[in-house]
Structure 1
Amino acid sequence: MEIGNFFNLLKKHRNIIIIVPLVFVIVSFFLVKNLPDVYESHAQIATGIIDASRHLLDKDATANVQEQQVDREFSNLIAIMKLKKLIDQVSYSLMIHDLGSSTPFRKPSKELLELRPYERDAALNILKNKFARLQPLSVYDKTENSIIGLLRSMKYDERNIMKDLVIARDESSDFISVSYDSENPQLSAFLVNTLCKQFIDYYTQSVKQNESNAVNFLSNLLEAKRKALSEKTGELQQYKIENGVLNLDEQSKAIFGQIMVYNDKKLQADKDAISYQGAIDAIDRKFSPQDRKYVEALTNKYNQAIIATQEQLHILEDQYVRSGFNNKYKVELDSLQDQLASQINLSSDKYITNPLVAKDDQIKQKLTLEVARDLAKYSVKSINGELANLNAKFARLVPFDAKVKTYDFDIDIAGKEYLDVLNKYNETNLRSNFSIKLIQVEIATPDVAQPSKKMLLIILSFVGSLFACIFWLFILFYIDDTIKTPTELVTKTQLPLLGYLNKIQGETLDLRKLWDIEHRDKMKTFKELLRSIRFEIEQELNGNKVLAITSIEPAEGKTLLAISLAYSYSMINKKVLLIDGNFNHPTISNTAQPHVYVEDFFKSSSQQQDVSSVTATVLGNRGGDVTLLEIGDEAFVKNRFDDLRSKYDIIIIDTAPLTALNKSKEWMLFSNKTIAVFEANKKLTSIQKQHVAYLKGLENKFAGWVLNKTDYNNQQK
């Protein structure tokens, strides 16, 4: 498809493209002439969603609000405004006003005028009741269903209101714009203000109810968490009381510290006992057995006193260790040690020694070391006992510590849950006190009439109808499968083309005028195209003389082409013979009234006639159900054609169409070339494709197509 063909189609149907839009314009003019003026009322609601001045308490919560989330919130608010229950509230308000006012917004409908006074009062009471309770009218109730019909008759129902109601966010602002168009400015303002008020009341009530439910839920949850925390704390305290546990960490640290101190004391005591014993052994080695008898004989009573004091010192040392080295025992211990030292000194003074050996100091030192050794050994025993006791206490703290840690873990979890719920409760409670409140910042007021849209509607009707016509023609052009141009004919048949002839509108073709009148453009074009076809035929014949002209269907212009070619050849001084081979429709014979007929000329039994002796160059036929080979046998007919070739420069045969089957094909047996005429603006059907296949089978005998009745040449110009 070429775009130029589509424009030619538009040019061809230009009358439709002009008339149809004009009709639509005229009809639109009369339809919109009596349209009432339109009054628009406008209101704005501040939502506070992106208003920073209304988020002073929760700036952190609103700092990172995404634009997508803001759009969702505005979409949700607009969807709430369009709820049927809110539009119904507006419908009730409008109907209540018209029923109870002497100046209704709209002219009463037929249904409203037919209401009796008591029916009006009943309808008014029902509407007020439904309005107060925010309830819809039921279609299953007869009375309420009649009120629904009343609303529809006054065009106060939801469907009619939503037609002219516009609710949208003002670009990227914090405001929602509400506007309504009607024929009454008071009606527009009343409807917009009523819708805004009902929406704000409904949304505020819903938000307050949701916030109250959330606060109550969190309050109950907070009380439950507080009770759980108290129970866990009480269980821990009771366990500590029952098991005598105060502070396990401090107790374990204290016991461990005591164990370390006692270990140090034990090491020191072991070290002292060993060192004291070593010193005593060294002194003993200095004394001989003879010296010892003096000492043991004279110091017995003093030794007993020392032993008694040592026993007291051992007892006091044990008490001192068990008390954890208390200082009050330290004083008594020092006093006994001083007493023991004096007794040792007294004992040493009474030693009877060998006058030859002065060993008083060694004996005194030995006694002192023995006392110190005994004290060290006895203190080790006491320290071991205390270490065992402390280790036992430390081991008893392990299960207590595990149990207490379990309680502490439960208390920690319960405490965190309590604090989380407490924070959520405080946050929700704060927001409920400072929640966003919708405010109608602009009240709708009656306004002047809007600029008339009548001219716009008329223009739209013109443009729409024009577009519809062009679109309809485009659809016709798109689905059109007819052959209009020579290129399409060659493409669809895969056969060569000799030329094409233009369609002559409103003219009866006169071949004599074709060559005489040069100033007529239509005839001039036809003549030029015919000359071109004649030239192509000459090239195809290449010295041969017999040309058969056929077509697929009747009335495609093959007879006109045969006559035109014959006349064209005669104009260049060619001796032409035109044979009317169409027995079904002998148009040439009926027009030319020839003297010689095919039935006589090709009949085998007839006497031989000389056509050249006849002035006419047309060989006609009488018509009827007959074929060429039924008139004469093939050899005789061939001889006749050989005779005609010798007498004429060109022999043109107008055969029957291919739909006549053998009636046309018999003539082609004797022709040198065959051309076929195809009428433009026709489809190539599946049946016709069979005849195209036959023409392909002729191979070199088929010269080509001639496309007739085409506008192709005019389109090119």
Structure 2
Amino acid sequence: MEIAKFFKLLRKYRNTLIIIPLVTVIGSFFLVKNLPNNYISHAQIATGIVDASRHLLDKDDNVNAQEQQVFREFSNLIAIMKLKKLINQVSYQLMIHDLSSPTPFRKFSKELLALHPYERDRALMLFKNKFQSMEPLSLYDKEEDKLNDILISMKYDERSIIKELTIARDEDSDFISVSFDSENPQLSAFIVNTLCNQFIAYYTQNVRQNETNAVNFLSKLLEEKKNALSKKTEELQKYKIQNGVLSLDEQSKAIFGQIMVYNDKKLQAEKDIISYDGAINAINGKFEPGDRKYVEASVSKYNQAITTTQDQLHILEDRYVRSGFNPRYKNTIDSVQNVLTGQINQSSDKYVTNPLVAKDDLIHQKLTLEISRDLAKYSVKSIDKELASLNSKFSRLVPFDATVKTYDFNIDIAGKEYLDVLNRYNETSLKSNFSINLRQVEVATPDVAQPSKKILLIALSVILSVFACLFVLFVLFYLDRSIQDPSDLVNKTQLPLLGYLNQIKGENLDLKKLWDVEHRDKMKQFKELIRSVRFEIDQELQGDKVIAVTSLNATEGKTLLAISLAYSYSMINKKVLLIDGNFDNPTISKTALPGVYVEDYFKNNPLNTQVVDSSTATVLGNHGGDVTLFEIGHDAFIKSRLDDLRSKYDIIIIDTAPLTSLNKSKEWLLFANKTLAVFESGKSITNGQKPDIAYLRSLNNKFAGWVLNKTDFNQKKESAS
């Protein structure tokens, strides 16, 4: 339903929807017919970022390049190309060309033409200086600010160039495309080539400078690390020389080996002492006290010689142990041992033991065991001294070892740092010779004009104008709260509808001619709609006779409806009385010039002898003024008068004041059998009118319904569609 209303609104403004796009087409045609042709020049720069053939030295690293990293590198290059510094270089080159060439790219602007020849030469020199130094124009300097204004007037400034400049990566390729659109093919090619050259030169210089700085830094760092490594190595050497340390590992291993040997010999000696003591005790147990005394007395002389030899043997054993078991002492010990053995044998041969018991062998064994035991005991003492000396030497090596290990650790760290810096230095030095990969593989050249967009612009202007009109109409439709057709009135008031009347503009309605002859469509439609309203009123009255006609506001057409209804009823041979109850605006009274007035007929006066019937009056007028019905007569008298009129007329129509006059209209409505209200189409219901609608709703069955006036609604067309 809402869509149908919107299309109805479009039909209403169909002329507007035709005229505005037509005017737009004409205006667009005159605007675009003189537009210059567009020329686009195109160039390509190879970056070498994803080109494997240009990464032979670092191919392994390039294969694993991440897509996000590649995207960042391309974005960085494009951002550099759009730097104001580089665009300014292009601007300077354009001005230098136009000021020094007989065929400039563009016609001189008013600002440039206003300069004297010497001022142009001065401007040319300043632009060249700025180009060489890559400096921007200072707006704080009056002369340079004037040059900036000239750039803007020639559309050579940064904003004008960026507006028509396109820089982008060609899909996923290794190339960056640069294009420029202008009215001059030579200008487009010049801007693209100049920008590419300046970009490559600027980027190359920056990369070279950064790489040189990096190589110099790594070279200094490498020298520092090398000196640090040499210094720590020299400190270790000095420490070893000062403390007599050659090889701590070998020295500690040798001392530890000697300690293990002496420990083994000590254990062996202790085992021998224990075994010798056990054997001597066993032999002693076999001798009787008397025998032992005899033997000791007999051999005392020989024992002294044996003791002396034993002392010599002990001295040799001590030297043998101290020398670390030097073999040269072994022969001497063996010879002394032989002498000692001979002395023992001599002692056994010289003196005979107790003839009663043959214990010569036991005595000989005992002496031998005692000598061996004494040698073993003495060797244990010598071994203990040597072990103490070796342990002392080993303990002295511990702090040396800790210090040397600290030096070795520091040297190892310094060596790793040196090697790391050396690798970085070699890698950077190698890459610095092959890092610059930018090159312009396609040079921009003047190209043919682009296909004309004039037709497209005109079509686009038409589409936009139509869309704008539709949008405006839709906004008006959406914001419109006015009542346009009967269904809107019923929905918004929740009150019944009797009918509607079409709008007749600029015509004086002659009701007599309306019913006597055929008129044009609008008049014929109005007559048919009056008949329809009359029929609906008859259905509502059902034998009653008094109808009150009112409205929410003045000038909504209630008086015309009252007169039309009166004439309509008269056409079906009804006795009709039309009462002008609008004291504020007695239009009917002024038009019909009645013979009887309300103020006279309804006045409660014994002298009032006014008689009204169908033969004397069809219109009951009023004199107007600030007066109300109840101020003329009381309600009982008025009721009696109306009852008298009911007996004389078939239908009584009262044209009351609008509801905005408060009680002036409501007093008439009290005496009406049915009330109908007129509402003007195209108006909306305000908050101030809502109480009046509530009042009409409170009339219940006495309210016959609405009549929508001045509408364009046509029920026949709506039903046909």
Same fold (TM over 0.5): yes
**Contact map agreement 1:280 1:369 (CA 8 A) in 2:** yes
Q: Report the AA paired with residue 46 of structure 2.
A: A
**Contact map agreement 2:502 2:709 (CA 8 A) in 1:** yes
Give the superposition deviation at 1:614: 2.2
Q: Residues 389 and 542 (structure 1 numbering): CA distance in 2 closer, same or farther, change over 3 Å? A: farther
User: 1:635 maps to what in 2?
Assistant: 636
1:447 partner SS: coil
Q: Deviations over 1:254-306 (max 9, x none)?
A: 44444444333322222211111100111122223443455434544543443
Q: Report the AA paired with residue 471 of structure 1.
A: F
1:176 partner SS: strand
Q: Residues 255 and 691 (structure 1 numbering): CA distance in 2 closer, same or farther, change over 3 Å? A: farther
**Contact map agreement 1:54 1:436 (CA 8 A) in 2:** no
2:613 partner SS: helix
Question: Normalized against structure 1, the TM-score is what?
Answer: 0.90
User: 2:676 maps to what in 1?
Assistant: 675
User: 1:422 maps to what in 2?
Assistant: 422
Give the superposition deviation at 1:337: 3.9
Give the superposition deviation at 1:653: 1.8
Alignment of 1:143-222 (within 5 A): 143-222=143-222
Q: Residues 604 and 464 (structure 1 numbering): CA distance in 2 closer, same or farther, change over 3 Å? A: same
Q: Report the AA paired with residue 35 of structure 2.
A: L
CA distance in 2, matches of 1:640, 1:361: 187
Give the superposition deviation at 1:445: 0.8
User: 2:663 maps to what in 1?
Assistant: 662
Give the superposition deviation at 1:654: 1.5
Give the superposition deviation at 1:206: 1.0
Q: Deviations over 1:622-657 (max 9, x none)?
A: 433332222222221111223333444543322111
Q: Deviations over 1:551-591 (max 9, x none)?
A: 12111122233334445555666654332212233333444
Give the superposition deviation at 1:43: 0.3
**Contact map agreement 1:164 1:180 (CA 8 A) in 2:** yes
1:444 partner SS: coil
Alignment of 1:369-518 (within 5 A): 369-490=369-490, 492-493=492-493, 495-504=495-504
Segments of 5+ residues of structure 2 without an aligned counterpart are none
**Contact map agreement 2:575 2:614 (CA 8 A) in 1:** no
Q: Report the AA paired with residue 50 of structure 2.
A: I
CA distance in 1, matches of 2:600, 2:533: 32
User: 1:48 maps to what in 2?
Assistant: 48
Question: Normalized against structure 2, the TM-score is what?
Answer: 0.89
Alignment of 1:297-316 (within 5 A): 297-316=297-316
CA distance in 1, matches of 2:452, 2:326: 112
User: 2:281 maps to what in 1?
Assistant: 281
User: 2:134 maps to what in 1?
Assistant: 134
Q: Deviations over 1:10-30 (max 9, x none)?
A: 222222222122222212212
CA distance in 1, matches of 2:625, 2:354: 193
**Contact map agreement 2:679 2:709 (CA 8 A) in 1:** yes
Q: Report the AA paired with residue 692 of structure 1.
A: I
Alignment of 1:230-629 (within 5 A): 230-293=230-293, 295-330=295-330, 332-490=332-490, 492-493=492-493, 495-504=495-504, 533=533, 537=537, 541=541, 544-567=544-567, 569=569, 575-605=575-605, 607-614=608-615, 617-629=618-630
CA distance in 1, matches of 2:533, 2:325: 144
Q: Residues 428 and 527 (structure 1 numbering): CA distance in 2 closer, same or farther, change over 3 Å? A: farther
**Contact map agreement 1:317 1:333 (CA 8 A) in 2:** yes
Q: Report the AA paired with residue 59 of structure 1.
A: K
Q: Among the aligned pairs, what percent are the same residue?
A: 74
Which moves more between the two structures, 609-618 or 214-223? 609-618
Alignment of 1:106-121 (within 5 A): 106-121=106-121
Q: Deviations over 1:60-114 (max 9, x none)?
A: 4334433333222222212211122211211221222222222222233444445
Matched, 1:75 2:75: yes
CA distance in 2, matches of 1:529, 1:367: 168
User: 2:21 maps to what in 1?
Assistant: 21
**Contact map agreement 1:638 1:670 (CA 8 A) in 2:** yes
Q: Report the AA paired with residue 472 of structure 2.
A: W
Q: Residues 139 and 389 (structure 1 numbering): CA distance in 2 closer, same or farther, change over 3 Å? A: same
Which moves more between the two structures, 649-658 or 302-311? 302-311
CA distance in 2, matches of 1:210, 1:544: 108
User: 2:689 maps to what in 1?
Assistant: 688
Which moves more between the two structures, 703-712 or 93-102? 703-712
CA distance in 2, matches of 1:392, 1:543: 147
Q: Report the AA paired with residue 134 of structure 1.
A: M
Q: Deviations over 1:16-57 (max 9, x none)?
A: 222122222212212222222222111011112222222333
Q: Residues 573 and 282 (structure 1 numbering): CA distance in 2 closer, same or farther, change over 3 Å? A: farther
2:358 partner SS: coil
Q: Report the AA paired with residue 194 of structure 2.
A: T
**Contact map agreement 2:497 2:707 (CA 8 A) in 1:** yes
Q: Report the AA paired with residue 710 of structure 1.
A: T
1:178 partner SS: strand
1:653 partner SS: strand
Which moves more between the two structures, 202-211 or 474-483? 474-483
CA distance in 2, matches of 1:316, 1:514: 171
CA distance in 2, matches of 1:148, 1:14: 52
CA distance in 2, matches of 1:611, 1:7: 53
Q: Report the AA paired with residue 72 of structure 1.
A: R
What RMSD in Å do the two structures reach over aligned CA positions? Answer: 3.2
**Contact map agreement 1:38 1:184 (CA 8 A) in 2:** yes
2:708 partner SS: strand
Q: Deviations over 1:382-409 (max 9, x none)?
A: 2222333333334434444444444444
Q: Residues 326 and 687 (structure 1 numbering): CA distance in 2 closer, same or farther, change over 3 Å? A: farther
Q: Deviations over 1:415-463 (max 9, x none)?
A: 4444443333333333222214211010001111111122122122222
CA distance in 1, matches of 2:320, 2:665: 151
CA distance in 2, matches of 1:671, 1:338: 174
Q: Report the AA paired with residue 166 of structure 1.
A: T
CA distance in 2, matches of 1:496, 1:332: 154
Which moves more between the two structures, 597-606 or 703-712? 703-712
Give the superposition deviation at 1:8: 2.4
Q: Report the AA paired with residue 45 of structure 1.
A: I
CA distance in 1, matches of 2:311, 2:516: 174
**Contact map agreement 1:294 1:351 (CA 8 A) in 2:** no
CA distance in 2, matches of 1:353, 1:681: 168
Q: Deviations over 1:181-236 (max 9, x none)?
A: 22222221111111100010001111111222222223323333333333344444
Q: Residues 479 and 297 (structure 1 numbering): CA distance in 2 closer, same or farther, change over 3 Å? A: same
Give the superposition deviation at 1:177: 0.9
Matched, 1:645 2:655: no
CA distance in 2, matches of 1:343, 1:507: 180
Q: Deviations over 1:148-169 (max 9, x none)?
A: 3333333322232223221122
1:684 partner SS: coil
Q: Report the AA paired with residue 687 of structure 1.
A: G
Q: Report the AA paired with residue 580 of structure 1.
A: D
CA distance in 2, matches of 1:383, 1:441: 91
Number of aligned residues: 717
CA distance in 1, matches of 2:60, 2:538: 97
Give the superposition deviation at 1:348: 3.3
Q: Report the AA paired with residue 467 of structure 1.
A: F
User: 1:61 maps to what in 2?
Assistant: 61
**Contact map agreement 1:557 1:679 (CA 8 A) in 2:** yes
CA distance in 1, matches of 2:255, 2:492: 113
